[in-house]
């Protein structure tokens, strides 16, 4: 036992040093852990303070920066809106002042401004970021205002367009030499009958002065195309030309209130200054027409026929010029060379229709629109229908004076020549309804006049056959029979209406026999 105890004591004494050393180390570790916990707590406190002082304040700063940017953008938009409002007022002032070219440029610039496509060259533009405001509620009224301004500009260009073309027609009719026209008709009639008449080698007047007309029409057509008013302008031109045809027939007519001035003054005085009614004016005009001598009547018909045919001739030339100028207005490179394209933003344009990518396609669409709106063949037909209504009335008023003439004056010859010439020339231009006018004239009043003259001549021939040979009487009897057959044919054709195409043949046959 003693030995064991001694051994245990020795072992314990040996291990006690290590044990106590471990206890000391454990105590130190515990102290270090407590210190680390304290330091971590201190670090947490410092991080909390840093979070409050740095992160939160940084977020607030970023939020304030965002607010500032939004305010700047709002200021840019307000500035852009102010420029738009000022631009609309400027456009209205230009339109009111009649400066439609500048107004149209301002409208185009204003539309670019609304779309945010502005040339970034000005000092103010460098500090402003323009935006697309086409969908803004505040600009709904601006779109309507711009449409109204474009309409007014289009009407102004339309007025210039119609005035240029009608002025050209009137100038051409006034400068036309009636003698040359009648000579041309006579030569055309001779060629139609198989003759060999040669016309003087003179350049046709209805094909002259085209360069001047093109130079006048080009800026107007460009304005019409930019204001989207081409179709409306051409429709107005059609109506104005028809009115001009009516006026061509109305101008040479004698006045409806210059006859018997004293009675007119007394009647107006008795009526308390009351103006004449349309029926009274018509009766006075008819009386003045009947009072005209044959020479004046022939001059009147010559003036009317020359004016109508030269107007229609010039119309065919004008339509070709309008088409050429319209193509140049859409794609002006052929006239002015390469032009600088308008500024466009790098992004895709929100309004691609304002900048056609294919000028050839735009030219084709404009050509089709013009061709459809003008409809030259239909316009010629309507013009001839208008001439039918007016000329036939004049001829009917003078029917008694025409039939009472002893011989066929040059007015009938003028009609026959004009019939041949106009049917040969304008039918090629597509004026199919042209025959209606001249067939009505030749199958009506003039045929009656020629029938009476033919009856007189045959009656004289028959009365002179007494005492002559049987051959002479047989020849005269055959002429009477042929005349009666032709007269019956003309009466049958007259019952079919003015569109019977065989009237010219019957008329020509009657004239030659």
DSSP string, 459-474: HHHHHTTTTS-HHHHH
Would you state the pLDDT for residue 37? 92
Question: Which uninterrupted H or E stretch holds 99?
Answer: none
Determine the Cα–Cα distance for residues 291 and 328; give it in Å rounded to an integer. Answer: 53
Determine the Cα–Cα distance for residues 70 and 387; give it in Å rounded to an integer. Answer: 70
Would you state the pLDDT for residue 40? 93
| Nearest alpha carbon to residue 113 among 86, 93, 95 | 86
Would you state the pLDDT for residue 163? 94
| Nearest alpha carbon to residue 399 among 449, 442, 438, 436 | 449
3-state secondary structure of 87: helix
Would you state the pLDDT for residue 410? 44
Would you state the pLDDT for residue 148? 92
Would you state the pLDDT for residue 39? 92
* First-to-final CA distance of the chain: 182
- Domain ranges (residues) in the chain: 20-134, 162-193+204-257+280-336+356-438, 444-513
3-state secondary structure of 136: coil
CB 488 within 8 A of CB 470: no
Determine the Cα–Cα distance for residues 105 and 95; give it in Å rounded to an integer. Answer: 11
CA distances (Å), origin 459, targets 89, 158, 247, 433, 513: 84, 62, 43, 38, 15
Determine the Cα–Cα distance for residues 221 and 326; give it in Å rounded to an integer. Answer: 6
- All residues at 6 or more sequence positions from 297 whose CB lies less than 8 Å from its CB, including other chains: 289, 398, 401, 411
What count of other Cβ atoms lies within 10 Å of the Cβ of residue 500? 18
CA distances (Å), origin 233, targets 153, 203, 240, 308, 359: 12, 31, 10, 23, 22
Determine the Cα–Cα distance for residues 133 and 258; give it in Å rounded to an integer. Answer: 65
What count of other Cβ atoms lies within 10 Å of the Cβ of residue 202? 9
3-state secondary structure of 148: helix
pLDDT tens digits for the chain (513 residues)? Answer: 778 877 777 777 777 777 777 878 888 888 889 999 999 999 998 888 888 788 788 888 999 999 999 999 888 888 888 989 999 999 999 999 989 989 999 998 898 888 888 766 655 556 788 888 888 887 888 888 999 999 999 999 999 999 999 999 999 888 888 777 777 777 766 665 565 555 555 555 556 667 888 888 898 988 888 888 888 999 999 999 999 999 988 888 887 665 444 444 444 444 445 577 878 888 888 888 888 888 888 888 888 888 888 888 888 888 888 888 887 766 655 444 434 344 343 333 444 445 444 555 556 777 777 778 778 888 888 888 888 788 888 878 877 776 666 544 444 444 444 443 444 344 333 333 333 333 344 344 445 545 555 555 655 665 665 556 667 767 766 766 666 666 565 555 444 444 443 344 334 434 433
3-state SS, 400-425, equals HHHHCCCCCCHHHHHHHHHHHHHHHH
Would you state the pLDDT for residue 388? 74
Would you state the pLDDT for residue 205? 59
Longest dimension (CA), the chain: 208
Would you state the pLDDT for residue 157? 93
Would you state the pLDDT for residue 480? 64
CA distances (Å), origin 252, targets 61, 246, 296, 472: 89, 11, 10, 48
Determine the Cα–Cα distance for residues 62 and 54; give it in Å rounded to an integer. Answer: 12
The whole model's pTM is what? 0.63
CA distances (Å), origin 64, targets 59, 60, 68, 69: 8, 6, 6, 9
Dihedral through CA 340, CA 343, CA 348, CA 350, nearest 10? -110
CA distances (Å), origin 110, targets 22, 87, 145, 214, 428: 91, 6, 12, 30, 48
3-state secondary structure of 455: helix
Determine the Cα–Cα distance for residues 316 and 320; give it in Å rounded to an integer. Answer: 7
């Amino acid at each position: 036992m003693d030995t064991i105890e001694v051994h245990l004591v020795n072992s314990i004494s040996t291990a006690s040093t290590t044990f106590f050393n471990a206890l000391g180390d454990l105590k130190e570790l515990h102290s270090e852990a407590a210190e680390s916990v304290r330091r971590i707590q201190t670090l947490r406190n410092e991080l909390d303070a840093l979070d409050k002082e740095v992160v939160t304040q940084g977020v607030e700063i970023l939020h304030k920066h965002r607010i500032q940017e939004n305010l700047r953008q709002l200021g840019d938009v307000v500035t852009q809106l102010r420029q738009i409002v000022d631009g609309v007022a400027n456009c209205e002032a230009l339109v009111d002042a009649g400066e439609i070219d500048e107004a149209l440029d301002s409208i185009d610039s204003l539309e670019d401004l609304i779309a945010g496509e502005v040339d970034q060259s000005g000092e103010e533009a460098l500090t402003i970021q323009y935006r697309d405001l086409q969908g803004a509620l505040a600009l709904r009224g601006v779109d309507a205002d711009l449409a109204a301004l474009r309409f007014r500009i289009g009407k102004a260009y339309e007025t210039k367009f119609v005035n240029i073309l009608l002025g050209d027609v009137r100038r051409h009719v006034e400068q036309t030499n009636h003698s040359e026209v009648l000579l041309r008709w006579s030569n055309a009639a001779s060629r139609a009958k198989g003759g060999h008449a040669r016309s003087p080698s003179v350049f046709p007047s209805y094909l002259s002065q085209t360069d001047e007309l093109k130079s006048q029409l080009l800026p107007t057509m460009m304005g019409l195309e930019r204001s989207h008013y081409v179709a409306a302008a051409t429709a107005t031109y059609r109506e104005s030309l028809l009115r001009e045809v009516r006026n061509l027939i109305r101008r040479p007519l004698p006045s409806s209130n210059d006859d018997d001035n004293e009675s007119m003054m007394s009647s107006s005085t008795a009526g308390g200054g009351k103006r004449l009614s349309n029926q009274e004016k018509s009766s006075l005009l008819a009386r003045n027409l009947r009072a005209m001598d044959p020479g004046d009547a022939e001059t009147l018909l010559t003036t009317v026929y020359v004016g109508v045919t030269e107007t229609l001739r010039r119309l065919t030339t004008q339509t070709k010029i309008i088409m050429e100028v319209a193509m140049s207005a859409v794609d002006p490179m052929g006239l002015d060379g390469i032009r600088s394209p308008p500024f466009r933003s790098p992004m895709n344009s929100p309004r691609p229709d304002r900048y056609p990518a294919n000028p050839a396609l735009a030219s084709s669409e404009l050509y089709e629109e013009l061709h459809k709106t003008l409809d030259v063949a239909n316009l010629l037909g309507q013009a001839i229908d208008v001439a039918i209504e007016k000329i036939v009335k004049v001829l009917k008023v003078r029917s008694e004076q025409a039939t009472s003439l002893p011989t066929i004056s040059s007015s009938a010859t003028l009609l026959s020549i004009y019939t041949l010439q106009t049917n040969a020339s304008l039918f090629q231009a597509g004026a199919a309804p042209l025959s209606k006018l001249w067939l009505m004239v030749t199958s009506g009043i003039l045929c009656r006049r020629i029938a009476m003259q033919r009856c007189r001549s045959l009656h004289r021939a028959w009365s002179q056959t007494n005492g002559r040979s049987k051959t002479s009487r047989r020849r005269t009897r055959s002429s009477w029979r042929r005349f009666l057959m032709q007269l019956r044919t003309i009466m049958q054709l007259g019952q079919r209406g003015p569109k019977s195409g065989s009237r010219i043949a019957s008329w020509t046959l009657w004239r030659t026999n």
